[in-house]
Amino acid sequence: MPRAFVILAASRDQPFQGGCIMIRLVGNCLAVVLMLATCSINAAEHKKALVIGNADYDYADKLANPERDATAIATRLRSLGFYVTEKHSLTLRGMKEALLDYSSTLNSDTISVVYYAGHGVQKNNHNYLIPVDANIQQSYEIEYSSVDLQMLLDAINEASPLLNLVLLDACRDNPFEQNLYSAFRSVRQHGQGLTAVESIGGAILSFATQPGNIAVDGVGDHSPYAGALLQHIATPGKSVQEFLNQVGLDVVAATRGNQVPWYSSSPVPEYCLAGCELPSHPPTAAHRTAFQAPNDTDRHSNKRAALSDAIMQRDWPEIDRLASLSAEQKALLKDLFSQYPRMTVAWQDTVTRSLASANAHPESNHETVEIRILEAINRQGNRVLPSRGWRTLSVSLKP
């Protein structure tokens, strides 16, 4: 069975609405995050990568970051020993040729990474990567003007590589939405979020943001997701699953919770892009969790981490020992625990004051911890993402 890592990153802000790439996981094996490592891969593999950055569109505004993101990712992969094929602003013919040429070089001994940055659109539960020469005026033109994501996945699966990591930075807000809105509105063929990708085998599917949301391009040289990938993809001692988790934490922090990356997996071998040997020196602040301040090593930091662990373990005595919960907060947690046997949470600390005046009562300062629910597993075994109603919970830490 081919083993594929698929990372689907959502798109950049554009002045249009809806229509970004959508992925729905088919089958519980792809809907549940499994952190099991069934085996390890030795260093004798062949490392290859295909990197595409589509930015200079003929019939849409030029995207600011895809070329920079693609160049930076390609450079980082080369530093990790990958033979990289790097392409920019490809036409439909160019995209298909690049994919077919690349897939023909893969075999069962290959470690493969594919990175695509550019526009994407979904229609009727299919997902399409948009080349720079696409001029989509009618909904039926999508199939003829774009690259079906399933074709990319099929090409990868056909080669049966040892591992294949596909980073798809493609859920940009659909630039062709204004042309398609009237037709789409009546038949509900489009929307923001994620939709089905069928038959991808033993894969890790990772997304830059949760279903129904659009990722931002960012104000710096890279999108929040690409920037986090660059920060962690070359970290020694971190498996793919571990660095994806850290990428998610960084993006949540950078976007103040507006963008929550997620991924889903069937069992795959453990593999570290930068080697699984731990570094001999202590980790720097840049390698710490995005929810920790660089110098935050005091007892409160331990309390925050302990509270997060207690919530994930449903340890009510420990929760009561660490935090002051209102009756409403306790009821909310009980309801979540009842509906979701497993939850993944992370903390972000803030300092707040009570309703009393700070000047009148300076001692009223108290520390709160904001617990962010990143994902959950429901009783049917399906992986779900938090709604806005229960994404965060701010509580006061006890002295």
Please name which of 12, 375, 2 lies closest in space to residue 203, comparing C-alpha atoms.
Answer: 2
What is the rounded CA–CA span in Å between residue 187 and residue 3? 36
What is the rounded CA–CA span in Å between residue 167 and residue 244? 11
Give average pLDDT by consecutive 10-residue segment, the chain, 399 residues. Answer: 48 39 39 38 72 93 89 94 96 96 92 87 80 90 89 85 80 58 38 46 65 60 87 88 84 79 68 75 38 43 77 86 86 82 68 34 58 71 59 77
Q: Domain extents for the chain?
A: 3-270, 291-397
What is the rounded CA–CA span in Å between residue 144 and residue 128? 10
> Contact 86/74 with Cβ under 8 angstroms?
yes
Strands 196-197 and 24-25: parallel
Q: For 47, what's the count of Cα atoms within 13 Å in the CB-facing half-sphere? A: 19
Amino acid 394 reads S
| CATH T-level topology, domain 291-397 | Nuclear Transport Factor 2; Chain: A, (3.10.450)
Amino acid 211 reads P
Provide the pLDDT for residue 264. 63
Supply the pTM of this predicted model.
0.61
> Contact 255/224 with Cβ under 8 angstroms?
yes
Provide the pLDDT for residue 25. 37
What is the rounded CA–CA span in Å between residue 268 and residue 271? 9
Provide the pLDDT for residue 177. 55
User: Residues 6 or more apart from 267 whose CB is under 8 A from it?
Assistant: 34, 36, 37, 38, 202
Same-fold call for 3-270 versus 291-397? no
Provide the pLDDT for residue 398. 85
- Burial (CB < 10 A; 0-12, 13-18, 19+), residue 379, is exposed
| CATH T-level topology, domain 3-270 | Rossmann fold (3.40.50)
Both structure tokens of 250? 């960084």
Strands 24-25 and 268-270: unpaired
- Burial (CB < 10 A; 0-12, 13-18, 19+), residue 287, is middle
Amino acid 26 reads V
Q: Output Rg (C-alpha) for the chain, integer angstroms.
A: 22
> Contact 98/84 with Cβ under 8 angstroms?
no
Q: Which uninterrupted H or E stretch holds 172?
A: strand 163-172
Which DSSP category does 90 fall into? -
What is the rounded CA–CA span in Å between residue 27 and residue 274? 31
Alpha-carbon distance values, 110 to 83, 96, 267, 273 (Å): 11, 21, 18, 13
SS3 category, 325: coil
Which DSSP category does 390 fall into? G
Provide the pLDDT for residue 296. 43
